[in-house]
A and B are shown apart, each in its own frame.
Chain A
Amino acid sequence: MLGTQIKDVILKPDAPSSLLLDKHADYIAAYGSKKDDYEYTLSEYLRMSGIYWGLTVMDLMGQLDRMNLQEIIDFIKACQHDCGGFSASIGHDPHLLYTLSAVQILCLYDSLHAIDVDKVVEYVKGLQQEDGSFAGDKWGEIDTRFSFCAVATLALLGKMEMINVDRAVEFVLSCMNFDGGFGCRPGSESHAGQIYCCTGFLSLTGQLHQLNADLLGWWLCERQLPSGGLNGRPEKLPDVCYSWWVLASLKIIGRIHWIDKSRLRQFILACQDEETGGFADRPGDMVDPFHTLFGVAGLSLLGEEQVKAVNPVLCMPEDVLQRIGLQPDLLS
């Protein structure tokens, strides 16, 4: 018989084992200041999300005041288009992905009044298709990620009733698979990122009872590898961002205790860069703000007391959602 080699990483004994909060805050604070950097410029197409990742992790670490509020609000306003949607950056086209990020940032700053909210709602509404799905923008790409972006944006704006929620739910449920998970479109393979979007979607629309939570929870807890890290699909390497998506999904369906929390914590901590600050996808790789947010947010869900409590559905600090009065459902 053949033995499968489990794809995994080995944590080095000298890997970081405590949370280096100050370094991470310095890393994020400095990240936006190197605007002439080649790599930074290359990632302009997702800038709005980049800002959301950076600000959210700063807020979770209690360091939001180190960021330049006015500059960010001005930037967001400049990114809203006539159609109501937001682009990742100036000169780019509007998209649901960046519309959600922009609204999330404005909620962190309690500044929704700075933009035309009704037009945002019109934009989101206009992207819903006959079958209930959402296109990411006017070019028609369909994905359950966009269903999540749409309802998350509207939930934050308190305007969920503006779309056809029943149809939207019907479409997301049509993407449910044999393993209880979800993919991008009907028939697509289950993937932790999409599962996060779809469980989050069902939470925001009050439809979590439609899940097969025991079956899905089993698939999700099987993502944990001997290193303690979680992968996003069977036979893939562990990754800090997938750790968040799987963990948040488990939290939403009330089954976070099905994984070994202390081993996961060890893995996430080992992905920190002691020199530069920040988290990488795996130990020894280059850090970035994306994995830094999901590293810190993951630790928060695992009960880390040095950072604020994070909401598993919207990946935002709980105190921000309390201020808005939004409490997405979780299964118990």
Chain B
Amino acid sequence: MHGRVKVKTTAQQEEEKRKEREKKLKIYVAARDACFSKRKEGVCDDEALQLTQQLLSSNPDFATLWNYRREILMHLETVKDPDEMQKIYEAELSFLEACLKVNPKSYGSWHHRGWVSARLPRPDWARELSLCDRCLSLDDRNFHCWDYRRMVVKVSGVPVDQELEFSDRLIGSNFSNYSSWHYRSTLLPVLHPQTRQEPPHASSPRGPQSHRVCEEQLLKEYELVQNAFFTDPNDQSAWFYYRWLLGRAEREETISCVYVSREDERVAVAFSRPINARCVGLLLVLDGQPLRVEWRSVHPRFRHSPVLICDLPPGTINDVTNEHNLTVHWTGNHTHRDCALYTGRVESWCRDTATDQELFRSELSVEKTSVLQSELQSVKQLQELEPLNKWCLLTIILLMRALDPLGYEKETLAHFQTLKEVDSMRSEYYSDLCCKFMIENTILKMEYAEVRVFSITDRNLTSLCHLDQLLLVTHINLSSNRLQRLPPQFAMLQCLEVLEADNNFLENLEGVYHLPRLQEVSLKNNKISTLTDLQPLASCPELKRLDLRGNPVTQAASVESDLAELLPSVTDLLL
């Protein structure tokens, strides 16, 4: 029950109302019981139609009565000729129109209308379309009507461009109409699809977000949206749409990295999206021979992971004097990646780097720089007029990231600061987004420097992401941030040797799990309070050095002996 205001009434008014309701109840119950007993007896007559009509007029959500009407109508089809049925169904449509006038948001009425329209001997789809026009002119956000319209358009073959014009008209009369912008997002990719580089095996069906729009049309859309947000900079509809327009195509599904360790006799593979080890068709070929291996996620907490690992049969590659060639096939996607392990080498890898792929040009499209540059200029113009407009600030950040994430880093951080102040309700959203961008920048810097050291300290980091990109990292430094946990995804750092995370708020180390190379862990001044918190470390066989100074756990009575038992490999323990 929505939007019914509570009104104060006197005792006398209350009594009158009570009597009136009692009367209405009697009539209602009598009609309902009459309907039920007629139906039980299988009666399909005019009186039943009238009774259900009477009840449904005031209570269109009484679904069973619509069902009864359909049974009656289907019965009539068996005894009447098509002309008579045409009339009966037209009367049904008039009745429904009356119902929808009173209650335009009843699921039952709209569904019944669709059912009737589909059974009409001579359907009149134009009439249905104009009903939608009228209904949407009264409430341009009624999603029932929008859905009905989509059905009518589909069944009657209304051309897509005609529907796009319809949305032009609605947006022209009111920019602030999220439903129309939404409609455009479904029409444009059909009418003006992007032509280039769509892989032929375009995998699983996803929403329209994976279907992009061609560049020429995009430019026109940018103009339309700019008109909208220059007219009303606080109207969120246009901004949501704009962020979508700027969005980049989904990444192709690829194997982004294959890593092989001779010593551990282990292979780790990174993919462009999380996959399920049990369902995905992966084939490992070693020196031309397919090898039977068992793929697994790096952590039992998630079945779907962008990094999978497997152990090779003992003795397959451990002789350092042998050279090996490894290929991982992702059979479902017809992609593969080779990796050669040369004589004398203990490990090897083959991969796309983040810089190669321009992974982190935000989620923004790979459009021409000049276009994005001019978009940035326009939005900046607006920002001069509206310096505290949050939509404007966020969009500027996104555009800057698309253009030059490292070059604009300082400005981006400043804009984030302003955003958190002007829209404090969502400050945590902005914090997380800012973390994500800083991590992306750090990955880019690391890769430009061609090192395997990832360091991001003293940046108020609250969450970690993109850990699948750190598969090859050997040293990580996360000190002086605001992290509370190292999440299960942290276990994707399969090459990690040294972990520094001093001066955080860490109490959960779940992700420090089966890291075969991990030797040194420094966790000074965190919130680790129990031995159980440290349990995950016991799964790292090479752990030698552990610094726990400044953690509550060091205060426990028998901590030293307990730790010796829990972590027997540790020789250098600082408490």
Q: Does A109 count as interface, using CB distance less than 8 angstroms? A: no
In the assembled complex, how far is the CB of residue B263 from the closest CB belonging to chain A, in whole angstroms?
32
Report whether B115 and A235 are in contact in the complex, using a CB–CB cutoff of 8 Å: no
Chain A contact residues: helix, strand, loop or mixed: loop
Stretch at the interface among A20-28, A39-47, A148-156: A39-47
B80 CB-CB contact with A under 8 Å: no
Residues of B within 8 A of A190 (CB): 182
CA distance A140 to B115 in the complex (A): 9
Within 8 Å CB of A4, what residues of B?
176, 232, 234-235
A219 touches B240 (CB 8 A): yes
Query: A36 with B107: in contact, given A173-B206, A222-B236 (CB under 8 Å)?
Result: no
Question: Is A191's CB within 8 Å of the partner chain B?
Answer: yes
What are the residues of chain B within 8 A of A3 when measuring CB–CB? 232, 234
The 0/1 profile, CB within 8 Å of B marked 1, for residues 250-271 of chain A is: 0000010111100100000000
Taken together as a complex, chains A and B put the C-alpha atoms of A313 and B4 apart, in Å, by 29
Distance between Cα atoms of A332 and B205 in the complex (Å): 25
A-B contact pairs, 13 of them (CB 8 A): A1-B233, A38-B22, A41-B28, A41-B29, A139-B111, A177-B208, A187-B147, A187-B150, A188-B147, A221-B426, A235-B237, A255-B432, A281-B1
- Kindly supply a per-residue 1/0 record for chain B positions 84-119, scoring 1 wherever the CB is within 8 Å of any chain A CB and 0 otherwise: 000000000000000000000001000100010000
Contact A176 B209 (CB under 8 A): yes
**Closest residue to B147 on the A side, CB-wise?**
A188
Instruction: List the A residue with the shortest CB-CB distance to B209.
Output: A178
How far apart are the CA atoms of A328 and B107 in the complex, in Å?
29
Q: Which residues from 74 to 89 on chain A have a C-beta closer than 8 Å to any C-beta of chain B?
A: 87
User: Interface-forming stretch among A63-71, A113-121, A284-292?
Assistant: A284-292
Does A14 sit within 8 A of B, measured CB to CB?
no
Given contacts A212-B209, A234-B178, contact A191 B143 (CB under 8 A): yes
| B166 beta carbon closer than 8 Å to chain A | no
Q: Write out the residue numbers on chain A whose beta carbons fall within 8 Å of the beta carbon of B240.
A: 178-179, 219, 234
B18-42 Cβ-contact flags toward A at 8 Å (1 or 0): 0001101100110000001000000
Residues of B within 8 A of A (CB): 1-6, 21-22, 24-25, 28-29, 36, 59, 61-64, 66-67, 70, 107, 111, 115, 141, 143, 146-147, 150, 176, 178-179, 182-183, 185-186, 204-209, 230-237, 240-241, 244, 273-274, 302-304, 363, 385, 424-426, 428-429, 432-433, 436, 487-488
A258 lies within 8 A of B432 (CB):
yes
**Neighbour of A286 across the interface among B6, B302, B425, B426, CB < 8 A:** B6
Contact with B along A146-188 (1 / 0, CB 8 A): 0000000000000000000000001001111111100111011
CB-CB under 8 A from A273, the residues of chain B are 6
Cα of A213 to Cα of B179 in the assembled complex, Å:
22
Q: Give the complex CA separation of A217 and B176 in angstroms.
A: 21
CB B196 to nearest CB in A, in angstroms, measures 20
- Any chain B CB within 8 A of the CB of A8? no
The residue on B at minimum CB distance from A89 is B64
Determine the chain B residues whose CB is within 8 A of the CB of A59 once the complex forms: none
Nearest opposing residue in chain B for A92, CB measure: B64
Which of A45, A92, A187 is within 8 Å of B186, CB to CB?
Answer: A187
B25: which of A36, A219, A280, A286 is its contact (CB, 8 Å)? A36
A-B contact count (CB 8 A): 177
Tell me the complex Cα distance, A180–B240, Å: 11
Q: Answer yes or no: A308 CB below 8 A from chain B CBs.
A: no
Q: Which of A185-216 contact B (CB under 8 A)?
A: 185, 187-191, 206, 209-210, 212, 214-215
Q: Which of A39, A178, A219, A239 makes the CB contact (< 8 A) with B207?
A: A178
The answer on a CB contact under 8 Å between A178 and B6 is no
Instruction: Report yes or no: A235 in contact with B141, Cβ–Cβ below 8 A.
Output: yes
Task: Please state if A188 and B1 are interface contacts (CB–CB under 8 Å).
Answer: no
Q: Is A286's CB under 8 angstroms from B1's CB?
A: yes
Interface flags for A1-27 (1: CB within 8 Å of B; 0: not) read: 111101000000000000000000000
In the complex, the answer to whether B204 meets A173 with C-beta atoms within 8 Å is: yes
Interface residue A91 (Cβ < 8 Å from any Cβ of B) = yes
If A184-B143, A224-B426 are given as contacts, then 15 extra A-B residue pairs at C-beta distance below 8 Å, sorted by A number, are: A2-B231, A6-B234, A38-B28, A93-B67, A177-B182, A177-B186, A177-B207, A184-B147, A189-B143, A189-B178, A191-B143, A209-B304, A219-B240, A263-B425, A332-B488
Q: How far is B146's CA from A4's CA once the two chains are assembled, in angstroms? A: 24
Q: How far, in whole Å, are A1 and B204 apart by their CA atoms in the complex?
A: 44
Give chain A residues whose Cβ lies under 8 Å from the Cβ of B205: 170, 173-174
> A91 contacts B115, CB within 8 Å?
no
Q: Which residue of B lies closest to A45 (CB)?
A: B62
A176: chain B residues within 8 A (beta carbon): 206-209
Q: How far is the CB of A43 from chain B (nearest CB, A)?
A: 8
Residues of B within 8 A of A212 (CB): 209
Contacts of A226 in B (CB 8 A): 425
Question: What separation, in Å, do the CA atoms of A142 and B176 have in the docked complex?
Answer: 29
Least Cβ–Cβ distance between A292 and chain B, in angstroms: 11
Q: Are B3 and A281 in contact (CB under 8 A)?
A: yes
Measured CB to CB, the closest approach of chain A to B507, in angstroms, equals 14
B25 in contact with A258 (CB, 8 Å): no
Closest chain B residue, CB of each to CB of A190: B182
Q: Which residues of A contact B143 (CB under 8 A)?
A: 183-184, 188-189, 191
A92 CB contacts on chain B under 8 angstroms: 63-64
Contact present for B209 and A177 (CB under 8 Å): yes
Mark each residue of chain A from 268 to 284: 1 if its CB lies under 8 Å from any CB of chain B, else 0. 00000100000011101
A130 at the interface (CB under 8 A from B): no
Contacts of B185 in A (CB 8 A): 177-178
- Within 8 Å by CB of A1, from B24, B232, B302, lies B232
Contact between A180 and B209, CB atoms less than 8 A apart: yes
Docked pose: A233 CA to B240 CA in angstroms: 12
Chain B's closest residue to A208 (CB) is: B304
Cα separation A62 to B488 with both chains bound (whole Å) = 35
Contact check, A178 vs B176: say whether CB atoms are below 8 A apart. no
Please list the 7 inter-chain residue pairs (A to B) with the smallest Cβ-Cβ separation, ordered nearest first: A176-B207, A178-B185, A38-B21, A260-B425, A258-B429, A38-B25, A178-B244
Measured between beta carbons, the chain B residues less than 8 angstroms from A174 are 205-207
Inter-subunit contact B61/A45 (CB<8 Å) = yes
User: Are B208 and A45 in contact, CB atoms less than 8 angstroms apart?
Assistant: no
Cα-based distance from A317 to B74 in the complex (angstroms):
44
Q: How far is the CA of A188 from the CA of B207 in the complex (A)?
A: 11
Instruction: Give the chain A neighbours of B179 by CB distance below 8 A.
Output: 189
Residue of A nearest to B153 (CB): A187
> Contact between A285 and B3 (Cβ–Cβ < 8 Å)?
yes
Identify the closest chain A residue to B245 (Cβ).
A178
With an 8 A cutoff between CB atoms, is A305 at the interface?
no
- A141 with B111: in contact, given A178-B185, A221-B429, A260-B425 (CB under 8 Å)? yes
> Assuming the A-B contacts A41-B28, A188-B143, are A258 and B428 also in contact, with contact meaning beta carbons closer than 8 angstroms in the complex?
yes
Taken together as a complex, chains A and B put the C-alpha atoms of A45 and B12 apart, in Å, by: 31
When the two chains form their complex, are residues A257 and B428 in contact, meaning their CB atoms are under 8 A apart? Answer: yes
Report the Cα distance A217→B28, complex, angstroms.
Answer: 45
Roughly how many angstroms separate A72 CA and B161 CA in the complex, as a whole number? 55
A183 / chain B contacts, CB cutoff of 8 Å? 143, 147
User: How far apart are A185's CB and chain B's nearest CB, in angstroms?
Assistant: 6
**Contact across chains for A93 and B147 when beta carbons are under 8 A apart:** no
Q: A187-B150, A209-B304, A222-B426 are in contact. Are A178 and B208 (CB under 8 A)?
A: yes
Task: List B contacts of A239 (CB < 8 A).
Answer: 2
Chain A, residue nearest B485 (CB): A332
Nearest residue, chain A, Cβ from B363 = A215
Give chain B residues whose Cβ lies under 8 Å from the Cβ of A188. Answer: 143, 146-147, 150
